[in-house]
Amino acid sequence: MTTQEASIDEILERYPGSPEYLIFLLQDVQKSYGYISPDSMQLICDRTGVPESQVYSVATFYQSFRLEPQGEHDIKVCLGTACHLKGGQRIMDELKRRLQVEPGETTPDMKFTYTSVNCVGACALAPVVVIDDEYYPSTTVKKLEKQIKALSQD
């Protein structure tokens, strides 16, 4: 999932060095590196002038930020209301059983990270699973199993 499209210096230069751009910087760093490392967090502090404690507070308040390296494949299970009614939780349970890690964690081989999301707004496709930004409509445990197998063999 890491695209490594920009160097950290390049990202830091994108915005003026003021606190209001803190979230922009965290988002861009995460987009390029998949997570926010302690080093990049320090550089963001220096750039914005926001103390590290406060940057940490922002990075942990918002659910989209990750402070640990992420797996090669990112699996998001939608748990919006429509997906919940159509069995989204069952898919979460099954992922946990199969991958043997908790939601938000990464498998030891660094292949998969899975999380739940609160509605991706594709309710007609419920239950939806988003793997590496691709939507999988009307997912069943069986279909998911196949997909995971295929990705494991990459």
Nearest approach, Cβ of residue 80 and another protein (Å): 4
Is 144 a binding residue for another protein by CB under 8 A? The answer is no
Show contacts with another protein in window 86-115 (CB under 8 A): 87, 90, 93-94, 97
* CB of residue 35 to another protein, shortest distance in Å: 14
Q: Could you give the CA distance from residue 10 to residue 25 in angstroms, rounded to a whole number?
A: 11
Stretch that binds another protein, among 4-12, 35-43, 122-130, 146-154 (CB under 8 A): 122-130
Residues 6+ apart with CB under 8 A from 79: 88, 89, 92, 116, 117, 118, 119
Give the Cα separation of 135 and 120 in Å (integer): 10
Shortest Å, Cβ 20 to another protein: 4
Q: What values do phi and psi take at 59, rounded to 5? A: -65, -25
Task: Classify strands 112-117 and 73-78 as parallel, antiparallel or unpaired.
Answer: parallel
The CA distance from 25 to 8, in Å, is 10
Q: Which is nearer to another protein, 106 or 116 (CB)?
A: 116
Encoded amino acid at 63, one letter:
Q
Which of the residues 32 through 61 are near another protein (CB under 8 A)?
A: 48, 50, 54, 57-58, 61
| Closer residue to another protein (CB): 8 or 44 | 44
Residue 26, phi then psi, degrees to nearest 5: -60, -40
Contact between 131 and another protein per CB under 8 A: no
Does 6 bind another protein (CB under 8 A)? Our answer is: no
Amino acid at the residue 101: V
Binding site for another protein (CB under 8 A): 19-24, 26-27, 48, 50, 54, 57-58, 61-65, 79-82, 84-85, 87, 90, 93-94, 97, 117-126, 128, 135-137, 140-142
